[in-house]
Structure 1
Amino acid sequence: MAEALQGSARIAVVAMGALDGDSRALRVAAAGRAAGYRVTLIGREPATTVPEGVDVRLVAVPSVLGGHRERRPRPGLRWPLAYRSAETYRRRIALSQARRSLLATRAAELDIVHRPLPLLALARCGHALASARHAVRDGWTRLRAAQHRAAVHRRRHPHTRLDNLAAELARLLLGRRAWRRLDPGLLDEEIAYGPVLDAVRPHLVHALGHRALALAIRAALRAEGAGHRVEVVWDAPPRIPAATRRAAVADDALLRSFAREADGVVTVGDRLAGELRARHGLSALPAVVRNTPEPTAAPVPRESGVRARCHLAADVPLLVHVGPVTPDRGAATVIEALPKLYDLHAAFVVPDPQDADLAALRERAAQLGVHARLHVLSYVPVPQVPDFLSSADIGVLPVHQLPHHQTVLATRYYEYAHARLPVVVSDVRAMAAATLELGNGEVFRARDTADFVRAVGAVLTNPRRYRKAYDRADVLRQWSWPTESAALIDLYGRLLGPRH
């Protein structure tokens, strides 16, 4: 195969996060390799399940520029006593702790070491004065430390009116270049990814997301300046609303700078493709390549499936939720419903079992007395996901009614389908329409625990009825990666042309 690929084009797939669990990046890389291209996958650690034959370049992004705001917050009028840097803050806290330990040691020494009474009295007076002095200094340190933490929190979450005004001024004065001022973390990514892209010298860069698109366009410009033509494909996911006005302005400026520079655009849904063309003035409608699983996925031994990992018998009802448990994904609805669903168990398959949002769910489950029926499992390799889930009874997607959930079917929906699981989904537009049309599950009102209980109960009453929906001709073949990736490979061929 290496000899057959000797004259083939080089494709770089750029992912901005960890490669493990990034199903889109792994599937794109595998499709390019299967089509005969030489593929390099660029992303962050870990990367333990890379497609065979794909070269991997791991990058580490130091938070030098992006973290400067948090390391050296500006105290301002609200926190005038805050420490001016994270280093000073840590040093002062450590000094206070060290003095406290030394004073405790001295107090113990005075209690156990024999001294003449006058000397002991003098020593205790000295210790009392030192303790009083430490109490004053420790109180001062605590006050300044509290103000420092408040200032750092504000810099980390800039959502005050003054922050919003600063973001708008940057937008008006700097225009498309405002992202450099408002999100310097993008420059950290340029420092980390730029040299790797330059060294790979790809003929085509597949950029996953708008941050990767900016890196790819700049790399293409540098390469073209050296006489090497690089095509750029922007893989545009649904746009998640920014947490702050500052982040929203930075994202908008970045997209206005680079969205129209892409040579080709792909996305994950028809409706989203139309929105992208209208919003960014694209010359052509983006190709639609849904993030669907491989039909011939790696089999998982029965003792390693989700039910076995939860140590449950075959007759115990089990629902599964795959993915992060951020508040907008509705995992809290599942927890609140468990007391009303009696013997039902819930498995959450997550990227990070130590996540803070997951800890909050565990605590709520303990308060409701259902913690024994809550199971938390780590991600499995992407090709194994459908087979891993197939021993469950229901796949749930209880996401909230937010714009980025409305337009496309989630990747997990397709994975549940290939696992032949009945689904229970909230009434967001795309998933509700697909479920009602196919008949593979029930729809409930988002955030409505009682309606979620009704939907789960309906599925558990007659699961075979919902599983039969997948027997319809071609439904799983249409929702498969070989079918979807054909449009992507066709786009690669048109962009690279007869050169390769």
Structure 2
Amino acid sequence: MAGSLRGTMPAHPSGGSPDPDADPGADPGNHVPAAHAARDVAVVTLGGVDGDSRALRVAAAARAAGYRVTLVGQAPATVAPRGTDVRQVVVQGVLGNHRVRRPRPGLRWPLAYRSAGAHDHRTVRLAAARALLVTRGAELNLVHRPLPLLALARCGHALAWLRYGVRAGWTRVRAAQYLAAVRRRRSPDARLDNLMTDLTRLLMGRRAWRRLDPGLLDEEVAYGPVLDAVRPHLIHALGHRALGVAIRAALRAEGAGHRVEVVWDAPPRTPAANRRAAVAGDAHERSFAREADGVVTVGEGLARELRARHRLSATPAVVRNAPPLAAATPPHPHGVRDRCRLAPDVPLLVHAGPVSPDRGPATVIEALPKLYDLHAAFVVPDPSHPDLAALRDRAAQLGVHARLHVLPYVPVAEIPAFLASADIGVLPVHKLPHHQSVLATRYFEYAHARLPVVVSDVRAMAAATLELGNGEVFRAGDTADFVRAVGAVLTNPRRYRKAYDRVDVLREWSWQTESTRLLDLYARLLGP
């Protein structure tokens, strides 16, 4: 699918297809296929390595197929597949944060400090001045002086407090205006902001991302030199932000005579925080999508959408992010039930993943008062996230805070075993486009944990659940219908678990099966 920037080259001879029954997560040991022995693959994720199950599974599959693999991402990186070279990068955020650190107050906030440095300097100086005045007051109370000198000292101290009050009022006014300007810069959603965004898109076209989201250039500064040093034969870029980094690295390598293939791993498009971010993301994706040599994604509907949106020459390959199939799921030494300190007979549902409002965690909290002794465990990447504080507050208002448990993520390889001790896995997502067309990674993880599921009526997950019979479907956002669905599963959980005993259900939903299509693409691009 090479585009206009990168010249087309003759196709490589097709390599042999890997064994579909092979475990891509297994240690390849010393048995490296000769066809791939000289091929280097770089897997690029712009997030933390440990929390990116897709990056870890891609790296494991490529390594097991005999490629030399370099995993490039941000810290932490402690659970990479054995034999994988891990390059950790740090994105400084200098360009992306410039708008916030120097917010250009303008006419609306004329007194605001012009930079974060000036704001910090003045506010800290004010705090230091107050500390000195308090200390001086204590000294006047303790140190003996003749009465005339004491009176004079106290008058001077009073004048110093008066001067401090004036300075404090002036500093606080300027600081308040600065913080208001920063908030607007963080959320540029006013009419004037949208007008400037549209004007930038009109004038700059696909290059508008450079102006609207300079944080993409921060990532280029951090990742570009690493990829230049690695000099892989293929770059697997996860997400549109990593795609730009990969294409630019490939262009530099090809300019030096080293051909690099780029595979774009395109996830569903999530709603942007504001119009500026949406336009920047769209411009960046359109700039580089057609330059990729191969495209993979996680669902058939999304593959068709990508081909139509970017006029790709072929429909992207579908490689769903399913866990590897294990012969048996061994009990986790400290599973979710153990971490919640619950007895085996206490009903427990689990919600794995972030708790942003569009994922429907509020539906779970609102249902708890009507589900009596049911406990809910939220397994999240960041237990201190502000959205969780709001959920805890709501649970306290409803009197169910004792039945709400918040747990941190576990390593990717342990997820199915960790979840297996729960009774139900829930996916109460709202009906938004990025939820409609794909089976979520969590859905596959619940299946490999052999958990009955309760999912909202988004197209892909509802259809799969109704066809397989492994759970119940409820109307998205409807708490009463969620309570009905959970109650139905708890009444006869064995009936729903039996659905996973059907022939080849979990094998079809496994990384061994899914990665075969990815490795076939690698073989077509790289050849022997």
TM-score, scaled to structure 2: 0.92
Report what 1:452 is aligned to: 482
Deviations 1:415-458 (A, max 9, x none): 00010101111111111111111111111111221211111111
* 1:476 lines up with 2:502 in the alignment: no
Report what 1:34 is aligned to: 64
Determine if contact 2:33/2:65 at 8 Å carries over to the other structure: no
Equivalent in 184, 202, 208 of residue 214 of structure 2: 184
Report what 1:364 is aligned to: 394
Report the count of equivalent residues.
Answer: 498
Report what 1:68 is aligned to: 98
Determine if contact 1:5/1:38 at 8 Å carries over to the other structure: no
Equivalent in 115, 130, 152 of residue 100 of structure 1: 130
* 1:56 lines up with 2:86 in the alignment: yes
Give the secondary structure class of the aligned counterpart of 2:394. Answer: helix
Query: Aligned letter for 1:58?
Result: Q
Show the 5 A alignment for 1:128-167. 128-167=158-197
Give the secondary structure class of the aligned counterpart of 1:214. Answer: helix
C-alpha distance in 1, partners of 2:33/2:247? Answer: 26
Report what 2:357 is aligned to: 327
Equivalent in 281, 285, 304 of residue 311 of structure 2: 281
Report what 2:23 is aligned to: none
Report what 2:525 is aligned to: 495
Deviations 1:31-65 (A, max 9, x none): 00111111111000001111111111110000111
Deviation of the 1:112 alpha carbon: 2.7
Deviation of the 1:5 alpha carbon: 6.2
Give the secondary structure class of the aligned counterpart of 2:383. Answer: coil
Report what 1:399 is aligned to: 429
Query: Aligned letter for 2:403?
Result: R
Report what 1:90 is aligned to: 120
Query: Aligned letter for 1:108?
Result: A
C-alpha distance in 2, partners of 1:380/1:415? Answer: 13
Give the secondary structure class of the aligned counterpart of 2:455. Answer: strand
Deviation of the 1:240 alpha carbon: 0.8
Query: Aligned letter for 1:133?
Result: R
Determine if contact 2:332/2:417 at 8 Å carries over to the other structure: no
C-alpha distance in 1, partners of 2:426/2:107? Answer: 48
Deviates more, 1:224-233 or 1:450-459: 450-459
Deviation of the 1:113 alpha carbon: 2.6
C-alpha distance in 1, partners of 2:276/2:339? Answer: 43
Deviations 1:454-490 (A, max 9, x none): 1111111111111111111111110000001100000
Determine if contact 2:329/2:449 at 8 Å carries over to the other structure: no
CA RMSD of aligned residues (A): 1.4
Report what 1:413 is aligned to: 443
Determine if contact 1:300/1:388 at 8 Å carries over to the other structure: no
C-alpha distance in 2, partners of 1:110/1:267? Answer: 73
Report what 1:209 is aligned to: 239
Distance 1:226 1:298, change over 3 A: farther
C-alpha distance in 2, partners of 1:2/1:188? Answer: 39
Give the secondary structure class of the aligned counterpart of 2:384. Answer: coil
C-alpha distance in 2, partners of 1:374/1:268? Answer: 32
Show the 5 A alignment for 1:287-306. 287-296=317-326, 301-306=331-336
Deviation of the 1:322 alpha carbon: 0.5
Give the secondary structure class of the aligned counterpart of 2:110. Answer: coil
C-alpha distance in 2, partners of 1:51/1:119? Answer: 76
Deviations 1:186-243 (A, max 9, x none): 1111111001101111101110011111111111111111111111100000011211
Determine if contact 2:265/2:297 at 8 Å carries over to the other structure: yes
Give the secondary structure class of the aligned counterpart of 1:17. Answer: strand
Give the secondary structure class of the aligned counterpart of 2:227. Answer: helix
C-alpha distance in 1, partners of 2:394/2:257? Answer: 60
Deviation of the 1:291 alpha carbon: 0.3
Give the unaligned 5+ runs of structure 1: none
C-alpha distance in 2, partners of 1:297/1:27? Answer: 18
* 1:113 lines up with 2:143 in the alignment: yes
Give the secondary structure class of the aligned counterpart of 1:191. Answer: helix
* 1:220 lines up with 2:246 in the alignment: no
* 1:123 lines up with 2:153 in the alignment: yes
Deviation of the 1:164 alpha carbon: 0.8
Report what 1:463 is aligned to: 493
Query: Aligned letter for 1:76?
Result: G
C-alpha distance in 2, partners of 1:301/1:207? Answer: 34
Show the 5 A alignment for 1:310-321. 310-321=340-351
Deviations 1:66-86 (A, max 9, x none): 111111110011111110010
Give the secondary structure class of the aligned counterpart of 1:409. Answer: coil
C-alpha distance in 1, partners of 2:258/2:283? Answer: 28
Determine if contact 1:11/1:39 at 8 Å carries over to the other structure: yes
Deviations 1:92-113 (A, max 9, x none): 1101111111111122222233
* 1:431 lines up with 2:461 in the alignment: yes
C-alpha distance in 2, partners of 1:457/1:3? Answer: 51
Deviations 1:8-28 (A, max 9, x none): 310000001001121100000
Deviations 1:395-414 (A, max 9, x none): 01111111111110100000
C-alpha distance in 1, partners of 2:292/2:408? Answer: 36
Deviates more, 1:257-266 or 1:114-123: 114-123
Deviates more, 1:441-450 or 1:378-387: 441-450
Give the secondary structure class of the aligned counterpart of 2:321. Answer: coil
Distance 1:134 1:231, change over 3 A: same
Distance 1:299 1:59, change over 3 A: farther
Equivalent in 366, 374, 382 of residue 404 of structure 2: 374
Determine if contact 1:297/1:383 at 8 Å carries over to the other structure: no
C-alpha distance in 2, partners of 1:393/1:63? Answer: 43
C-alpha distance in 2, partners of 1:364/1:100? Answer: 39
Determine if contact 2:32/2:65 at 8 Å carries over to the other structure: no
Determine if contact 1:13/1:25 at 8 Å carries over to the other structure: yes
Deviates more, 1:462-471 or 1:115-124: 115-124
Give the secondary structure class of the aligned counterpart of 1:206. Answer: strand
C-alpha distance in 2, partners of 1:193/1:483? Answer: 31
C-alpha distance in 2, partners of 1:436/1:35? Answer: 36
Deviates more, 1:312-321 or 1:247-256: 247-256
Give the secondary structure class of the aligned counterpart of 1:405. Answer: helix
Query: Aligned letter for 2:77?
Result: A
Deviates more, 1:367-376 or 1:397-406: 367-376
Give the secondary structure class of the aligned counterpart of 1:304. Answer: coil
Deviation of the 1:125 alpha carbon: 1.6
Determine if contact 1:298/1:383 at 8 Å carries over to the other structure: no
Report what 2:3 is aligned to: none
Q: Give me the identity figure in percent.
A: 77
Deviates more, 1:246-255 or 1:78-87: 246-255
C-alpha distance in 2, partners of 1:114/1:360? Answer: 54
Equivalent in 364, 368, 379 of residue 349 of structure 1: 379
C-alpha distance in 2, partners of 1:146/1:35? Answer: 58
